[in-house]
Amino acid sequence: MQEPTTWAPPPAGILVDAALSTNLAAMAFCSPDGRGALFIYSTPAMEPVAEMRLDGNPQEVVMSPPAKGSGDVHVSLSYEGGGVEAWVLQPAAIEVS
């Protein structure tokens, strides 16, 4: 059995949700000031890929598996009190370890 990767989270607040897709992990954090953050990491190395400061505190993050042949990963984020944002992460823009 492989040893687990240890990771110290960034000082971004409280982890409220996380999601996994092929070679990527998304972590959504809320903060007392009402401006959360979304972090995307490569897996299993947990190297930072993207960091997004948000206009509100997130409630849930969802990642879809890449569509067959495309490699694109769809990420959606819902907010406390309503609202949704969505992104497409393209493999050409992501270096995955």
Instruction: Give residue-wise pLDDT tens across range 31-57.
Output: 888 889 999 988 888 888 888 999 999
Average pLDDT of the segment spanning 62-89: 88
When pLDDT is cut at 50, 70 and 90, the band that residue 61 belongs to is: very high
H or E element at residue 40: strand 37-42
Tokens linked to 63: 């990642």
Instruction: Tell me, rounded to whole angstroms, the distance of Cα 66 from its chain centroid.
Output: 15
Which single residue is written with the structure tokens 């190395």? 45
Higher pLDDT, 95 or 3: 3
Asked if 6 and 23 touch (Cβ cutoff 8 Å), the reply is no
> In Å, what is the CA distance from 76 to each residue of 4, 68, 88?
27, 19, 9
Closest CA to 76 of 59, 61, 66, 95: 61
Question: Does the pLDDT of residue 97 top 50, yes or no?
Answer: no
Least confident of 7-11, 13-17, 85-89: 7-11
